Structure 1
Amino acid sequence: MTEVESIIAAWASGHLPQSAQLKQLIAYELANSRRCHVWGVTSETAAAKLKQRAQVLQALVSANVQLPLAGRQWSDLILSFWSLWLPLSLWLAETRASLARPMVQGILGGQGTGKTTLTQILSLILQQLGYRTVCLSIDDLYKTYAERQQLRQQDPRLIWRGPPGTHDIPLGLSTLQQLQQAAPGQPVNIPRFDKSAYGGEGDRITPQQVSDIDIVLFEGWFLGVRPIAPERFLVSPSPINSEADKAFAKDINQTLKAYLPLWEKLDRLIVLYPEDYRFCQQWRRQAEHDMKATGRDGMSDQQIDQFVSYFWCALHPELFIKPLAETPGLADLVIEISADHTPSAVYCP
């Protein structure tokens, strides 16, 4: 544990930092200018901002909140808490407080970027701050099993659920609208999807009923992604190689237009952005290897490569995700993810 981590851990346990220790924390914070810009930290506001984080962290520790950290303790991920999860939660709370209705926070992240863990941790921290949240995945909006079978007959290229065109957009719009307009105490049905139904094809299950929601954490692998100009496909990145690949990519790009009304419901968008988009393929392999190591069925490396290539043909990260992470005004926050799944940077595009 580094000296900075030790100071934070002690503060979380109720031991106030000495003046020199607080200065050390402030210096650590101010050393990262991009992160300071995101969280509004300056030399004048740093002490107050850090004390605010520490108060929330103390509340979590004293309440012995069980966090979804795969067997690890919060102290194993001190800097992730301190530099990302706590200030991000406070950032969301500040935004919600400025609205006269529930907030919809979009979270875009592919396989292995940690979007599910992030939404769970944010929910727990926001609960400590007095905000009720609900997590909604784009996966929860899949069309029914019967509808997707019919869809596959119409377009045999839709061999997997997941690409644009396999979701019930009116269901998503209706759900978000109800959450934003519900009266106090009024129940709202949140669609849920069981991926194991029909031998892994998946189907809808009984919706979850919620009420008095303050913040909706809406996540998905292409959430907020926008159509691109058709000429971008003239020189396409691999695996969009054949004319058939390009035709599929262009058709999916066209289908993406139908999702724009759904994205308009987002108040803010966070992009979980791997330092190298190919990490997702490595992460998927590792996940399948881990699953098979426990005796469960899993994909072979060849099947994984085919699976990943299919989705890269549909919406290639270089064509669709990179612009969101680099173009001002398209996303509000970018969190870069390193090869070991941990956040390595946070900034505004």
Structure 2
Amino acid sequence: MWRRWQRILSSSLCSAAAAAALRGGALREIIRSGPVFEQAKLADLDDFDRWERLGSQLAASLKLSSPEEEKVRVYWLYLPVYEWIRRAAAGRSRPLFVGLQCPQGGGKTTMCDAIGQLFEAEGASCAVVSIDDFYKTHADLEALAARHPDNPLLHGRGLPGTHDPELARSTLDALFAANSAVRVPRYDKSARAGRGDRRPRTDWPEVKPNVDVVLLEGWCLGFQPRPPNAVDDPRMRVVNEYLRTDLAPIYERFDAFITIQVPDLRVVYAWREQAERPLRDRGEGAMTPDQVRTFVDRYMPCYHQYIDALYATDLVPGATLRIAIDAHRRPIRWTDPRT
């Protein structure tokens, strides 16, 4: 069944006429055949008209380039993830707190924006927050680097230790208090010649009270600190300790968790290069290919230390959704490393 629908999507769906023909029964089967629909255990599709309406609205908003892209991204990925979160949030008296982990370049920001749009379309609210927006200020990052002069992993933003845990804690507490509007921090990665800095508070967007869902995304969310004697890389020992003190306590708040698995971590290099190449072509001061490799290299020790354990663990027992994507960011069937 899966291969049959893949062949359909790669051939007959590549025209507007084919896309129109999929409305109705064929589209229903495509939704049901998607790997995320199956993984999320969305056994029923009773309200098909609602799925079709939301999908059409989202596809128009995203300005997707082809019918195939619409089906893969909207009906196989964004809508099933949204529906899984929506069902988990139903009937709660406080916001549902969802964590989402995906390596850099995997499309988590676009996914979170799409999920926010879908909640808004159905009269609910979803506050999307990135762990990146809790980076320390430029001055504090400089001070961190000075405290660890021989550890390049802590020279600049990125890894555990470079975030402001107090800011994260106070912001999340305010979102859950639900009694007033909350300003959510924003970080400007282009500031200070690309070294980055926190934006002024007046630039922080405001989230209205009584939010239904808080969705926190980040490349290293869910990474669990290891015992100190289990960390062989001396550079990672201090990062491991920062992970324990600064980020891991946030996980205790999660009501649900989503992890997006990639087939090979080397794809992160390719995705970063994909993002930089158009900027270089336009003369916008992007990184060179060598700089891209150096940049991504800095994150790899963290991935290698924690990613296998994350893929093999239910961070929130009974409420963890695992999604696998290929090098083209298309959802594929999840391969459980525990089997």
User: When the two structures are superposed, what TM-score results if normalisation uses the length of structure 2?
Assistant: 0.83
Cα deviation, residue 342, structure 1: 2.1
Cα deviation, residue 54, structure 1: 3.9
Counterparts of 1:190 and 1:270 in 2: how far apart (Å)? Answer: 22
Is this contact kept in 2: 1:38–1:347, CA < 8 A? no
Counterparts of 1:31 and 1:209 in 2: how far apart (Å)? Answer: 35
- Please tell me whether residue 247 in structure 1 is matched to residue 234 in structure 2: yes
Gapped runs of 5+ residues in structure 2? 1-7
Q: Cα–Cα, structure 1 residues 4 and 130, in superposed 2: closer, same or farther, change >3 Å? A: farther
2:216 partner amino acid: F
- Please tell me whether residue 298 in structure 1 is matched to residue 292 in structure 2: no
Cα deviation, residue 81, structure 1: 1.9
Counterparts of 1:347 and 1:129 in 2: how far apart (Å)? Answer: 33
For residue 83 of structure 2, the aligned residue among 90, 101, 112 is 90
For residue 38 of structure 2, the aligned residue among 18, 31, 36 is 36
Q: Cα–Cα, structure 1 residues 53 and 166, in superposed 2: closer, same or farther, change >3 Å? A: farther
Cα deviation, residue 124, structure 1: 1.1
Q: SS in structure 2 opposite 1:295? A: coil
- Please tell me whether residue 333 in structure 1 is matched to residue 337 in structure 2: no
Q: Cα–Cα, structure 1 residues 296 and 30, in superposed 2: closer, same or farther, change >3 Å? A: closer
Cα deviation, residue 76, structure 1: 3.0
Is this contact kept in 1: 2:141–2:156, CA < 8 A? no
Q: Which residue of 2 aligns with 1:308?
A: 296
Counterparts of 1:16 and 1:278 in 2: how far apart (Å)? Answer: 39
- Please tell me whether residue 52 in structure 1 is matched to residue 55 in structure 2: no
Q: Which residue of 2 aligns with 1:288?
A: 276
Superposed CA offset, 1:283-305 (max 9, x none) = 11222222101111122222222
For residue 158 of structure 2, the aligned residue among 139, 162, 169 is 162
Aligned residues: 317
Q: Cα–Cα, structure 1 residues 11 and 106, in superposed 2: closer, same or farther, change >3 Å? A: farther
Counterparts of 1:197 and 1:104 in 2: how far apart (Å)? Answer: 30
Counterpart mapping for 1:1-349 below 5 A: 2=9, 9-10=19-20, 16-17=24-25, 21=26, 25=29, 29=32, 35-41=37-43, 45=44, 49=45, 51-61=46-56, 66-68=60-62, 72=65, 76-156=69-149, 157=151, 158-183=154-179, 186-205=180-199, 206=201, 207-212=204-209, 213-234=211-232, 246-258=233-245, 259-313=247-301, 315=302, 317-329=303-315, 332-346=320-334
Superposed CA offset, 1:169-193 (max 9, x none) = 111111111111122xx21111111
Cα deviation, residue 232, structure 1: 4.0
User: When the two structures are superposed, what TM-score results if normalisation uses the length of structure 1?
Assistant: 0.81
Q: Which residue of 1 aligns with 2:3?
A: none
1:278 partner amino acid: R
Q: Cα–Cα, structure 1 residues 346 and 214, in superposed 2: closer, same or farther, change >3 Å? A: farther
Q: SS in structure 2 opposite 1:173? A: helix
Is this contact kept in 1: 2:184–2:205, CA < 8 A? yes
Counterparts of 1:53 and 1:97 in 2: how far apart (Å)? Answer: 19
Counterparts of 1:74 and 1:93 in 2: how far apart (Å)? Answer: 26
Is this contact kept in 1: 2:273–2:289, CA < 8 A? yes
2:181 partner amino acid: P
Q: SS in structure 2 opposite 1:218? A: strand
1:300 partner amino acid: T
Q: What fraction of aligned residue pairs are identical, expressed as a percent?
A: 29
Q: Cα–Cα, structure 1 residues 134 and 30, in superposed 2: closer, same or farther, change >3 Å? A: closer
Q: Cα–Cα, structure 1 residues 269 and 328, in superposed 2: closer, same or farther, change >3 Å? A: closer
Counterparts of 1:330 and 1:167 in 2: how far apart (Å)? Answer: 23
